[in-house]
Amino acid sequence: MTSIEKRYQAFCETLPESVDVEAAKERLLKQHVETPSWGYGAMGTRFYTLHKPGAPRNVFEKFEDAAQVQKYTGIARSVAIHIPWDKVDDYEELKQHAQSLGLSVGAVNANLFQEDDYVWGSLTHPKAHVRERALAHLAECVDIMNKTGSTILSLWFADGTNYPGQDDFRARKHRMEEGLAKTYAMLGEGQRMLIEYKFFEPAFYHTDIPDWGLATLYAKKLGPKAQTLVDLGHHPQGTNIEYIIAILIDEGKLGGFHFNNRKYADDDLTTSSINPYELFLIFNEIVAAEQDPAIELDIAYMIDQCHYIKPNIEAMIQSVVNIQTAYAKALLVDRKRLKEAQENMDMIEAEECLVEAFNRDVTPLLEKVREELGVPANPRKAFRESGYMARIIEQRSR
Amino acid sequence: MTSIEKRYQAFCETLPESVDVEAAKERLLKQHVETPSWGYGAMGTRFYTLHKPGAPRNVFEKFEDAAQVQKYTGIARSVAIHIPWDKVDDYEELKQHAQSLGLSVGAVNANLFQEDDYVWGSLTHPKAHVRERALAHLAECVDIMNKTGSTILSLWFADGTNYPGQDDFRARKHRMEEGLAKTYAMLGEGQRMLIEYKFFEPAFYHTDIPDWGLATLYAKKLGPKAQTLVDLGHHPQGTNIEYIIAILIDEGKLGGFHFNNRKYADDDLTTSSINPYELFLIFNEIVAAEQDPAIELDIAYMIDQCHYIKPNIEAMIQSVVNIQTAYAKALLVDRKRLKEAQENMDMIEAEECLVEAFNRDVTPLLEKVREELGVPANPRKAFRESGYMARIIEQRSR
Amino acid sequence: MTSIEKRYQAFCETLPESVDVEAAKERLLKQHVETPSWGYGAMGTRFYTLHKPGAPRNVFEKFEDAAQVQKYTGIARSVAIHIPWDKVDDYEELKQHAQSLGLSVGAVNANLFQEDDYVWGSLTHPKAHVRERALAHLAECVDIMNKTGSTILSLWFADGTNYPGQDDFRARKHRMEEGLAKTYAMLGEGQRMLIEYKFFEPAFYHTDIPDWGLATLYAKKLGPKAQTLVDLGHHPQGTNIEYIIAILIDEGKLGGFHFNNRKYADDDLTTSSINPYELFLIFNEIVAAEQDPAIELDIAYMIDQCHYIKPNIEAMIQSVVNIQTAYAKALLVDRKRLKEAQENMDMIEAEECLVEAFNRDVTPLLEKVREELGVPANPRKAFRESGYMARIIEQRSR
Amino acid sequence: MTSIEKRYQAFCETLPESVDVEAAKERLLKQHVETPSWGYGAMGTRFYTLHKPGAPRNVFEKFEDAAQVQKYTGIARSVAIHIPWDKVDDYEELKQHAQSLGLSVGAVNANLFQEDDYVWGSLTHPKAHVRERALAHLAECVDIMNKTGSTILSLWFADGTNYPGQDDFRARKHRMEEGLAKTYAMLGEGQRMLIEYKFFEPAFYHTDIPDWGLATLYAKKLGPKAQTLVDLGHHPQGTNIEYIIAILIDEGKLGGFHFNNRKYADDDLTTSSINPYELFLIFNEIVAAEQDPAIELDIAYMIDQCHYIKPNIEAMIQSVVNIQTAYAKALLVDRKRLKEAQENMDMIEAEECLVEAFNRDVTPLLEKVREELGVPANPRKAFRESGYMARIIEQRSR
Distance of CA B223 to the CA centre of its chain: 22
Say if the Cβ atoms of A116 and D51 lie within 8 Å. yes
Cβ contact C303:C39 at 8 Å:
yes
Report d(CA A280, CA B60) in Å as an integer.
53
Task: List the Cα angle C25/C28/C32 in 5-degree steps.
Answer: 160
Say if the Cβ atoms of A116 and D237 lie within 8 Å. no
Say if the Cβ atoms of B166 and A200 lie within 8 Å. no
Say if the Cβ atoms of D163 and A310 lie within 8 Å. yes
Nearest to C126 among D173, D213, D345 (CB): D345
A48 reaches D (C-beta below 8 A): yes
Q: What is the structure's pLDDT at D398? A: 80
Q: For C11, name the nearest residue in chain A, comparing CA atoms only.
A: A361
Say if the Cβ atoms of A273 and D201 lie within 8 Å. no
Residues in chain C: 398
Asked, for residue A354, whether it belongs to a domain, the answer is: no
The ipTM of this complex is 0.97
Report d(CA C15, CA C360) in Å as an integer.
9
Asked, for residue A15, whether it belongs to a domain, the answer is: no
Residue D42 pLDDT class (50, 70, 90 cuts): confident
D358 reaches B (C-beta below 8 A): yes
The torsion angles phi and psi of D381, rounded to 5 degrees, stand at: -65, -45
Write out pLDDT tens, residues A289-320: 999 999 999 999 999 998 889 999 999 999 99
Q: What is the structure's pLDDT at B398? A: 80
Dihedral class, residue D355 (left if φ above 0, else alpha if ψ from -120 to 50, else beta)? alpha
Say if the Cβ atoms of C263 and B205 lie within 8 Å. yes
Q: What is the structure's pLDDT at D43? A: 82
Higher pLDDT, C307 or D8: D8
Looking at CA atoms only, how far is residue D263 from chain A in angstroms?
A: 6
Looking at CA atoms only, how far is residue C237 from chain A in angstroms?
A: 6
Nearest to A163 among B214, B289, B347 (CB): B347
Say if the Cβ atoms of A163 and B351 lie within 8 Å. yes
Write out pLDDT tens, residues B41-57: 988 898 999 999 999 99
Using CA atoms in the order C61, C66, C67, C72, what is the torsion angle rounded to 10 degrees?
140
Nearest to C164 among D166, D288, D354 (CB): D354
CB neighbour list of residue B133: distance below 8 Å, 6 or more residues apart:
B117
Nearest to B237 among D237, D273, D380 (CB): D237
Cβ contact B82:B37 at 8 Å:
yes
Report d(CA D12, CA D10) in Å as an integer.
5
Report d(CA C152, CA C39) in Å as an integer.
18
Report d(CA C240, CA C245) in Å as an integer.
9
Asked, for residue B347, whether it belongs to a domain, the answer is: no
At C281, the amino acid letter reads L
Write out pLDDT tens, residues B239-298: 999 999 999 999 999 999 999 999 999 889 999 999 999 999 999 999 999 999 999 999
Say if the Cβ atoms of B119 and C200 lie within 8 Å. no
Q: What is the structure's pLDDT at D340? A: 98
The arithmetic mean of pLDDT across residues B366-388, rounded, is 98
The arithmetic mean of pLDDT across residues A333-355, rounded, is 98
Say if the Cβ atoms of C358 and A276 lie within 8 Å. yes
Nearest to B193 by CA among B258, B110, B278: B110
Asked, for residue B328, whether it belongs to a domain, the answer is: yes
What is the number of structural domains in chain D?
Answer: 1
Contacts of B166 in chain A (CB under 8 A): 342, 347, 350-351
Chain D interface, best mutation among B262, B277, B346, B389, by max D CB count within 10 A: B277
The number of beta carbons lying within 10 Å of the beta carbon of residue A245 is: 23
Report d(CA D369, CA D374) in Å as an integer.
9
Cβ contact B130:B117 at 8 Å:
yes
Looking at CA atoms only, how far is residue A50 from chain C in angstroms?
A: 15
Report d(CA C72, CA C63) in Å as an integer.
14
Round the average pLDDT of chain D to a whole number and report it: 97
Looking at CA atoms only, how far is residue A36 from chain C in angstroms?
A: 20
Looking at CA atoms only, how far is residue D223 from chain A in angstroms?
A: 31
Asked, for residue B24, whether it belongs to a domain, the answer is: no
Asked, for residue D340, whether it belongs to a domain, the answer is: no
Q: Is the pLDDT of residue D223 over 90?
A: yes
pLDDT tens-digit profile, chain C (398 residues): 789 999 999 999 999 999 999 999 999 999 999 999 999 998 889 899 999 999 999 999 999 999 999 999 999 999 999 999 999 999 999 999 999 999 999 999 999 999 999 999 999 999 999 999 999 999 999 999 999 999 999 999 999 999 999 999 999 999 999 999 999 999 999 999 999 999 999 999 999 999 999 999 999 999 999 999 999 999 999 999 999 999 999 999 999 999 999 999 988 999 999 999 999 999 999 999 999 999 999 999 999 998 889 999 999 999 999 999 999 999 999 999 999 999 999 999 999 999 999 999 999 999 999 999 999 999 999 999 999 999 999 999 88
Domain of residue D182: give its range.
31-333
Contacts of D163 in chain A (CB under 8 A): 269-270, 273, 310
Nearest to B119 by CA among B175, B167, B180, B164: B167
Transcribe A251-269 into DSSP letters.
TT-EEEEEE-B-SSS---B
Say what angle helices B347-359 and B312-331 make with each other, to 10 degrees.
140
Alpha helix segments (H runs only) across D31-127: 59-73, 91-100
Write out pLDDT tens, residues B177-220: 999 999 999 999 999 999 999 999 999 999 999 999 999 999 99
Q: For A359, name the nearest residue in chain C, comparing CA atoms only.
A: C361
Say if the Cβ atoms of C162 and B269 lie within 8 Å. yes
Q: What is the structure's pLDDT at A44? A: 86
Say if the Cβ atoms of D275 and B278 lie within 8 Å. yes
Q: What is the structure's pLDDT at B241? A: 98
Q: What is the structure's pLDDT at C398? A: 80
Q: Taking chain A, what is the end-to-end CA distance rounded to the nearest angstrom? A: 47
The arithmetic mean of pLDDT across residues B360-382, rounded, is 98
Contacts of B51 in chain C (CB under 8 A): 116
The arithmetic mean of pLDDT across residues B15-27, rounded, is 97
Report d(CA B42, CA B75) in Å as an integer.
24
Report d(CA C367, CA D297) in Å as an integer.
61
Q: Is the pLDDT of residue A42 over 80?
A: yes
Largest Cα separation within chain C, whole Å, is 70
Task: List the Cα angle A327/A328/A334 in 5-degree steps.
Answer: 105
Write out pLDDT tens, residues B50-81: 999 999 999 999 999 999 999 999 999 999 99
Say if the Cβ atoms of A347 and C264 lie within 8 Å. no
CB neighbour list of residue C331: distance below 8 Å, 6 or more residues apart:
C23, C24, C27, C28, C287
Report d(CA A109, CA A125) in Å as an integer.
20
Asked, for residue B384, whether it belongs to a domain, the answer is: no
Chain A interface, best mutation among C239, C355, C367, C383, by max A CB count within 10 A: C355
Contacts of A162 in chain D (CB under 8 A): 269, 308-310
Q: What is the CATH number of the domain that holds D90?
A: 3.20.20.150
Q: Is the pLDDT of residue B1 over 80?
A: no
The number of beta carbons lying within 10 Å of the beta carbon of residue D342 is: 20
Report d(CA D357, CA A221) in Å as an integer.
48
D242 reaches A (C-beta below 8 A): no
The arithmetic mean of pLDDT across residues A63-80, rounded, is 98
Round the average pLDDT of chain B to a whole number and report it: 97
In a 3-state reduction of DSSP, which class is residue C104?
strand
Looking at CA atoms only, how far is residue B318 from chain D in angstroms?
A: 9
CB neighbour list of residue B292: distance below 8 Å, 6 or more residues apart:
A170
Cis amide leading into B293 (omega within 30):
no
Asked, for residue A208, whether it belongs to a domain, the answer is: yes
B287 reaches A (C-beta below 8 A): no
